[in-house]
Amino acid sequence: MKSQVTLLVLLFVGVLTSYAQEFKFEQETINYGKVEQSSDGVRVFEFTNIGDAPLLIKDIKSSCGCAVPQKPEKPIMPGEKGQISVSYDTKRLGAFSKAITIFSNAKRERMSIKIKGYVTSKSQKGKV
């Protein structure tokens, strides 16, 4: 009986490790550089499922409410590309650095990507 349970456990672990999901980002940090206040703050992280099973992005959390990530709703199949867009609120002046945490069914269940940049005041065009 013990040997049957041990065999089942080993078989289960073997199946789980043979279907490992992984994903690789083209870049894990996006530098906005200098952006003008109240300008478009949307950037896109692209990644590829380099595993051998569908990749499911379960949830994405930001380190603050000023960065809003959007996850893919459908599974990303092996070899396919996916995108995570992040919208940063560029109303506040100054430097920013925010972490985006991704929860998935990949080998590394939790992964972080980052955005950073510097928001400058709106240009005063037409004024002397």
pLDDT in tens, 38-82: 999 899 999 999 999 999 999 999 999 999 999 999 999 999 999
What percentage of the chain has pLDDT greater than the value 70? 80
Residue 57 lies in a domain: yes
Residue 111 lies in a domain: yes
Residue 109 confidence (pLDDT) above 80: yes
Enclosing domain of residue 69 = 2-120
Residue 128 lies in a domain: no
Residue 2 pLDDT: 62
Residue 125 lies in a domain: no
Question: In the chain, how many domains are there?
Answer: 1
The more confident residue out of 5 and 119 is: 119
- Once rounded to an integer, what is the mean pLDDT over residues 78-98? 96
Residue 29 lies in a domain: yes
Residue 9 confidence (pLDDT) above 70: no
Residue 122 pLDDT: 80
- Once rounded to an integer, what is the mean pLDDT over residues 4-11? 52
Residue 50 lies in a domain: yes
The CATH number covering residue 85 comes to 2.60.40.10
- Once rounded to an integer, what is the mean pLDDT over residues 11-20? 48
Q: Give dist(CA 119, CA 41) in Å, integer.
A: 10
Mean pLDDT across the chain, nearest whole number? 86
| 3-state SS class at 42 | strand
Residue 127 pLDDT: 42
Q: What's the angle, vertex CA 81, arms to CA 76 and CA 85, rounded to 5?
A: 90
Residue 1 pLDDT: 64
- For the chain, the first-to-last Cα distance in angstroms comes to 88
Residue 92 lies in a domain: yes
